[in-house]
Chain A
Amino acid sequence: MSIHDSAPIPAQAGIGLRSHHFREILDAPPPVAWMETHPENYFGAGGAPLHILERIRSRYPLSFHGVGLSLGSTDPIDRAHLCKLNVLIDRFEPAFVSEHLSWSSVGGHFLNELLPLPYSEESLDHVCARIDQVQTILKRPLLIENITRYLTWRDSTIPEGTFMAEAARRTGCGILLDLNNAYVNAVNFHLDPIEFLEMIPAEAVQEIHLAGFDRFGRMLIDTHGQPVYPEVWGLYQWAIHHFGPRPTLIEWDTNLPPLSVLVEQATQADAILGGCHASAL
């Protein structure tokens, strides 16, 4: 039994929780509406990480953003992984549980990277069956996130946005819209990110991610190691006006800056969300 209030996450900005910032957060809890973390970092049996998450959870609504489920793999679903996730869900009562629309394992071997699925009918049937399975085991809806990809499969016959919309329609799962990923894919493959976003049904979008990327030659790489770029802020403004205000996360995983930088970025997102709230009045 959990002691936490499982209130929903408000349509405000939150930040990604990283161990690098634990001390700072505990000493002076930052003015953000919520936090998100990778549940796999808390799969241990005990110790400081779980105690710290407990303390942080007592102050902030929390969201779990999985990276290790390998949702699109053709291997059997990893029930041990889901069991550990369920234990954490019972203990911390996150408002959202999300995973990437990707695969990372085959034949029992894990590459531990978010790899793209071909957007085909076969993949759609497969991933919908897996989402159903996960939602049944977790007894709650999952959010699926669009990923960055650095290749295009020959078998991809369905636009990514349509693929995600159809997965949400068939399974009842929600969508976590990563605008940085949408932008990076659009630049790398000469696509229109708005075209992608327009395929996504507004009612399915439960959360938005913002992050920074790095440039390697002509490619953009989704490193989560930079501030949100102006182009992605622009996309965010468009998305908030199109979909309406949504809980928005500032993700930062590499090249971590002081916590205050993440808070500044969250404040910037809140200003855009606030502008949308105001114009709706």
Chain B
Amino acid sequence: MPRLCELQQAFAKAIVEGKSHAAAETMAEDGRSLRSLALYRRLIRNNFVQVLTITYPVLHRLVGPRYFDVLARGYLKRYPSMSGDLFSYGRHLSVMLFELQVPPLLVELARLEWVCHEVHHAADPPPLSQGRLQAIASADPAQVTFRLQAASRLLSFSFPVHRVWLALQPEAPADEVVELPLPEQETGVVVTRGDGKIQVTPLARTDYLLLEAMSCGADAASVERMAIESEPEFDFARFLATVLSLRIITGFSVTETL
């Protein structure tokens, strides 16, 4: 094995596992090898903590920097970075929090923040032309299916997490008290991107169920039937207009009749 590869492996081992002996042997005998390794260990750890802090700003604000630091260090041990760019780093934080059995609110908040991160960088939706919309209007609803855009994601929580998320935004008043209803209350939200800002919008139960069905490929006729079964007075046209205006839906498909 070439020496360069051995040297890089020894260094990484010293940083990740704290086993400095082999790495120190590859370094100049200037009396500072262990201090140098400790410095790199600190720089590397701080970089990753910083990345997680940027991706999970609300969780960071909620638990405070000291506890967040503990979580971030734990994450780094469990989930080493696998890429030169750090877009995907932090993806499994909610899984780790679940496994650590921290309060469920923190798990769900982490899940929401990761989705916000993904939506922020998701592909831009293609424009939905007027002509295309008119073509759909004349189609058989049983043959129309919807496509939700990449920058719009549905999530369901055991807590009204979006209220905590909103209350801990940088522009929110520092002393706002968020009262969470008990027992737990299931809440559906849609995360969207408007004017470059992430929006987390709570959904009425029927709206959530319909969007979920649409995202799973249910046709328009089935979705409308679900709506009426859930709420006999449901205004399906209003619902469709709303999801179009929010650009949650970016496309349709019409199955051709054979």
Contact = CB atoms under 8 A, between A and B. Distances in A.
Interface string A176-190: 000000000000000
B84 A40 contact: yes
Contacts of A113: 40, 43-44, 47
A12 interface: no
Interface stretch (A41-49, A136-144, A159-167, A240-248): A41-49
Contacts, number: 136
Contacts of A43: 85, 87
A238 interface: no
A266 B47 CA distance: 27
B121 A123 contact: no
Contacts of B36: 150-151
Interface string A103-133: 1111111111101011010110010000000
Nearest to A118: B7
A74 B84 CA distance: 14
A256 interface: no
A109 B8 contact: no
Nearest to B54: A19
A111 B44 contact: yes
A44 B87 contact: yes
A47 B120 contact: yes
Interface in B35-83: 36-37, 39-40, 43-44, 47-48, 51, 80-83
A224 to B, nearest CB: 13
B28 A48 contact: no
A152 B39 CA distance: 13
B256 interface: no
Contact of B121 (A44, A68, A73, A221): A44
B40 A109 contact: no
B180 interface: no
B157 interface: no
B181 to A, nearest CB: 33
A188 B171 CA distance: 42
B12 A153 contact: no
Contact of B27 (A78, A123, A153): A153
A133 to B, nearest CB: 15
A84 interface: yes
A69 B85 CA distance: 8
Nearest to A123: B4
A151 B33 contact: yes
Given A118-B7, A152-B30, A153-B26, A68 B85 contact: yes
Interface residues of A, number: 47
Interface in A234-266: none
A167 to B, nearest CB: 15
B196 A154 contact: no
**Most chain A CB atoms below 10 A, which of B32, B83, B89, B196:** B83
Contacts of A169: none
A52 B150 CA distance: 19
Contacts of B5: 74, 106
A81 B83 CA distance: 8
A112 B16 CA distance: 12
Nearest to A111: B44
Contacts of A74: 2, 4-5, 8
B16 A150 contact: no
B24 to A, nearest CB: 10
Contact of A106 (B8, B26, B48): B8
B13 to A, nearest CB: 9
B84 to A, nearest CB: 3
Given A47-B120, A110-B81, 18 more contacts: A43-B87, A45-B150, A52-B196, A110-B82, A111-B16, A112-B89, A117-B4, A122-B2, A122-B4, A150-B39, A150-B40, A151-B28, A151-B33, A151-B37, A153-B27, A154-B26, A154-B27, A154-B28
29 contacts: A40-B85, A43-B87, A46-B121, A48-B193, A68-B85, A74-B4, A74-B8, A78-B83, A103-B8, A108-B82, A109-B81, A110-B81, A111-B16, A111-B44, A112-B47, A112-B48, A112-B51, A112-B84, A112-B86, A112-B89, A113-B44, A115-B11, A123-B4, A151-B37, A153-B7, A153-B27, A154-B28, A216-B39, A221-B43
Interface of A: 40, 43-49, 51-52, 67-70, 73-74, 78, 81, 84, 103-113, 115, 117-118, 120, 122-123, 126, 150-156, 216, 219, 221
